[in-house]
Amino acid sequence: MKKSLLVCLIALFGIPQMKATHLMGGEITVQQIANNTYVAAMLLYRDTTGINAPFSATLKLELNGAVVQTLAAPTVSSISGTILPQYPYGVEVHLYVDTFVVSTPGSYTLSHTLCCRNGAIQNLSNPFSESMTLITNFEVFPSTPNSTPFFLVPAAVFLPVNTPWQYNPLPFDMDGDSLHWSIDAPLGANGYVAGFVLPSSNPSNPFSIDPVTGTISWTADMIGNFVASILVDEYRNGVLIGSIRRDMQYIVVGTGSSPMIANNPNWNLNANGVPSFQAYFGTPLQIQVIGQHPDSTAVLDMADYGELRLMNHPGYSFNYSATGNGSEIVGVLDWLPTASDFRPEPYNVVLRVSDYLFTYDALFEITVGTNVGIPEELFNRLSLYPNPASGFVNIDISRKTGTAAQLNVYSANGILVESRKLDALEAGQNFIVLPTNNLELGMYYIELVTEDQRYCEKLLVR
């Protein structure tokens, strides 16, 4: 069952109200709740000194570039003015929500522009003269439901200079569409803001995002304020159907040390370096994660984010406690998957450790299989993820019987560009990693031919 987007957003925040001034970022998301009815939700991030945030926000709805509605979204008092979790000061969250009805299929845009950006931002040419425009693009289909993705992890704001740092906003789509994310220039009242460059970085770890995992990595080499947008493109059957973006300001400070999540050498890493765990329905899974800090007197916190927490999956829990070794803590994830949790795509969990000033995110991946027999309807089904792919694609197929197999890759015009024999597929789940670095950008067809069946799926390489 789908969970209300508003409920999801409320679950991320909640403490007392204060005031706000300079804009620090935001995002707009849209959820379809009935045949022609949608809910628009805009989150704004602002600092905590100065004027009050507005009690309503004007959102412009356009169809193919023409304005069709203007929404006056009121503030949600239970959220607006709360402090961003795991930070001692400086960042408020304000939520604006409104409902609208559209009956004409097509490509829609929902946007909001407001003034003004922080004049101290260092990677724009004239930041104080720039407004901030938040925008989301989404498709209304004649008979198929569609909601935009949204971010499961709250924004990260403060980080220490000359220290490796990670942040993962973890976009999630309730419709199961494929997502691809990238770094983009922020938007202003007249399009892209002037003079944007990527935040200043140590060359060994530049400001960048992994298009498959969504993890932002950065070692900032100077103190100051920087801004960038996280762009998330949404694809269905290989076709772009929308996008959302989180515009966010990052503050690099020169004092303090940063918490970390310790790497366990026994963890299995997937092709993209993400710790991956195999779970089986009916069998308990436990993952223990250590949070550490160079300062043995630091007070640490650890929180979990992801689909499992969002949907209140039965048998899932996460808790942390002190280990007694200085400031070290251990987070414990417990989950007892059921048969209904079986699927080809993994479940993603982001664990965030914080010392109440700096945060550090780590992504974990859990795949649910079976040790007692795969449900009949899941046999002989080919799945590709991520799709669009960048660098590699996972091919997941469940078989009732073992078989020899041939993997073929065809271009969009039907030319065979790659072919290879596979080790025999086994009964049960099979995972194949196909590198895409040697493929040009564009659409392909992945064909898997076995002794008794032919499978074919579209793949978009970016």
Task: For residue 129, report the phi and psi dihedrals to the nearest 5 degrees.
Answer: -90, 0
For residues 327 and 256, what is the distance between their CA atoms, to the nearest angstrom? 15
Q: Is the peptide bond before 386 cis (omega within 30 degrees of 0)?
A: yes
Q: 312 and 249 share a domain? A: no
For residues 426 and 297, what is the distance between their CA atoms, to the nearest angstrom? 52
- Which domain range does residue 71 map to? 5-253
Q: 172 and 280 share a domain? A: no
Domain boundary among 369, 386, 407: 369
Q: 237 and 110 share a domain? A: yes
Tens place of pLDDT per residue across the chain (462 aa): 355 555 555 455 433 333 334 678 999 999 999 989 999 999 998 876 655 677 889 999 999 889 999 999 999 988 777 877 777 666 888 899 999 999 899 999 999 998 888 889 999 999 989 999 999 999 999 989 999 999 999 998 899 999 999 999 999 998 989 999 999 999 999 999 999 999 999 999 999 999 888 899 999 999 999 999 999 999 998 899 999 999 999 999 987 789 999 988 888 888 888 999 988 878 889 999 999 999 999 999 999 999 999 877 778 999 999 998 899 999 999 999 887 888 878 999 999 999 999 999 999 999 987 655 555 445 556 788 888 888 888 888 877 778 888 999 998 877 899 999 987 787 777 778 888 888 999 888 898 888 888 888 889 998
Q: 346 and 393 share a domain? A: no
User: Number of structural domains, the chain?
Assistant: 3
Q: 183 and 247 share a domain? A: yes
Do 216 and 208 contact (CB within 8 A), yes or no? yes
Q: 308 and 212 share a domain? A: no
